[in-house]
Structure 1
Amino acid sequence: CKSKIDFMESLGTMVSLFSQKVKEKTELIRELSLKHGLEFQRESVYRSVRSMVEGELKAGQVNFSYRTDSGCRTLLRLHRSLLWLKMMLEGLSKGPDSEGRYKTTGVFCSRDAYKVALAPHHPWMLRQAAEIVFLALPDREYFLQLVCVKKQEEATPVLRIIIQALSVVHTRTQRILKKYDMLELP
């Protein structure tokens, strides 16, 4: 998660809201791990995603009707952010359209990735703010520099490796959250 935060922070101050939320959610899971590990005076159930989900369900920490400060609910929010990042990088890895133009960072971030991964779960006001944030993102060349390349042709293989790693984590987490009907926790 640290590298995801570092990457998001490198996008500049306009995306700092997202990276700050990721930091807060990661810290909440750490705090829950410490609190519940000490409460029950045994090994923490937060040693893996599956053990956290099963442990919180058993302890009654997850509620399917209203918001609770559970690791499962927090993980779901991080899971959605991971999907956004993965989709954004997929957009960045694509070549030019039929007219030889590349999508702008605002297009592949806001209109594509954000609308699919995060917007359905955000209130109207936050969706509007996100649109403004994504319009102010740096250009494609800046993003290419973040993955240590100078040309799109060099970026695609690097981005595919990153995307594959993110996909593995997303797929495994998705499977666990779906198994326990946690994809729509309030």
Structure 2
Amino acid sequence: MGVKSKAAAAILILLLFLGSLWLQGGLDYHWDSCLKGYNQVNKLNQLSNSSGANGAEVSQVLEGCPGQTFQVPLLLSHLLAAPAYTSDVLLQPYLSSWDELVKFMDALGPMVGLISKEIESKTTIIRQLALAAEDGPEAELSPDVHPIHSASTEAGTKNSLEASQHTSAYHSVRSMIAVELNQGVVDFHHQTDSGCRTLLRLHRALLWLQLFLEKLAETPVAGRLRSPSDLCREAYQSTLANHHTWIVRRAAELAFIAMPERGFFFRLVCVQNQEELSVVLNRVVQAIGEVYDRTQKALEENGMLELP
């Protein structure tokens, strides 16, 4: 085998290793987008001035991007539907938000796509736990946790199923925490597939994506925009890298090298320039921040920020 073949094989092995270990201590178990850009200046201005908009209003403000899987209006609608009551997060829109974020990562290429597969495995765990709990005992909920009898008003069998999944113990972050503590399935010393531990891994990954998108939305410094690769690396180093082994951090660096250039993100979100991209991403970052902060508070109050 020649030198080039050996190098290619080594890179492939390393990427596969990254896919399975990307979120060690986090998720540790293991371009052709919208070609026809269009001007959304007026709609983006509406979006930037409507921070209190609900999911339906956001869908009216931002149009979908034809010809691609990831749709930023859909992501926003799920994120805005997730916060509930004073400090809770509904799991159905939370997991649906991750469905869109997985599409976003898949669009960045196969190297980052490997990471999204691990995230999908975690959302699947929580959904399966929700289904299994439908016939189980109800949790003794705290005063801030409210039972929900309808988590979705959208039509369709799939949405009805997803709604039914979260009308019981696993309808929200706090109700899931309550029932799993009550049933003793959260282990504070050993790795398990509990919903709380799985949520913590998703929670850490969400902070990484939030920071990356926030950096991607930044205005130029001295007239120069930094590369998405550098920005994603910085976001990683200050978030997920804190929970990873040395080898996983090195593998992550390799994945960032293949990050698309900034023009790709214009097409992915269907905008024409950095100013428009900033408006859209800042709204997404704001919505993610609300969900993240509520989840952080719930996990912290129950001593779950360092679950093994």
Under a length normalisation based on structure 1, what TM-score does the superposition of the two structures give? Answer: 0.94
Q: Does 1:102 align with 2:225?
A: yes
User: Taking every aligned residue pair, what percent have the same amino acid on both sides?
Assistant: 48
| Cα distance in 2 between the residues matched to 1:44 and 1:6 | 28
Q: Relative to 1, partners in 2 of residues 1:41 and 1:171: Cα closer, same or farther, differing over 3 Å?
A: closer
Which amino acid is the alignment partner of residue 99 of structure 2? K
| Cα distance in 1 between the residues matched to 2:193 and 2:99 | 22
2:112 matched residue in structure 1: 15
2:288 matched residue in structure 1: 166
1:154 matched residue in structure 2: 276
Q: Does 1:113 align with 2:235?
A: yes
Q: Which has the higher helix share?
A: 1
Paired residue secondary structure (1:45): coil
Q: Contact (CA 8 Å) 1:34, 1:44: kept in 2 or not?
A: no
Higher Cα Rg, which structure: 2
| Cα distance in 2 between the residues matched to 1:73 and 1:85 | 19
Paired residue secondary structure (1:47): coil
Q: Please give the residue correspondences for 1:22-37 in structure 2 after superposition, counting only pairs within 5 Å.
A: 22-37=119-134
| Cα distance in 1 between the residues matched to 2:250 and 2:109 | 19
TM-aligned CA deviation for residue 41 of structure 1: 5.8
2:251 matched residue in structure 1: 129
RMSD, matched Cα: 1.3
Task: Please list every run of 5 or more consecutive structure 1 residues that lacks an aligned counterpart in the other structure.
Answer: none
Paired residue secondary structure (1:68): coil
1:178 matched residue in structure 2: 300
> For 1:25-59, what per-residue CA distance to the aligned partner results, in whole angstroms no more than 9, with x for missing partners?
00011111222334x26663111000001110111
Q: Paired residue for 1:90, among 210, 214, 218?
A: 214
TM-aligned CA deviation for residue 73 of structure 1: 0.5
| Cα distance in 1 between the residues matched to 2:175 and 2:229 | 38
Under a length normalisation based on structure 2, what TM-score does the superposition of the two structures give? Answer: 0.57
| Cα distance in 2 between the residues matched to 1:167 and 1:73 | 20
Q: Please give the residue correspondences for 1:53-68 in structure 2 after superposition, counting only pairs within 5 Å.
A: 53-68=177-192
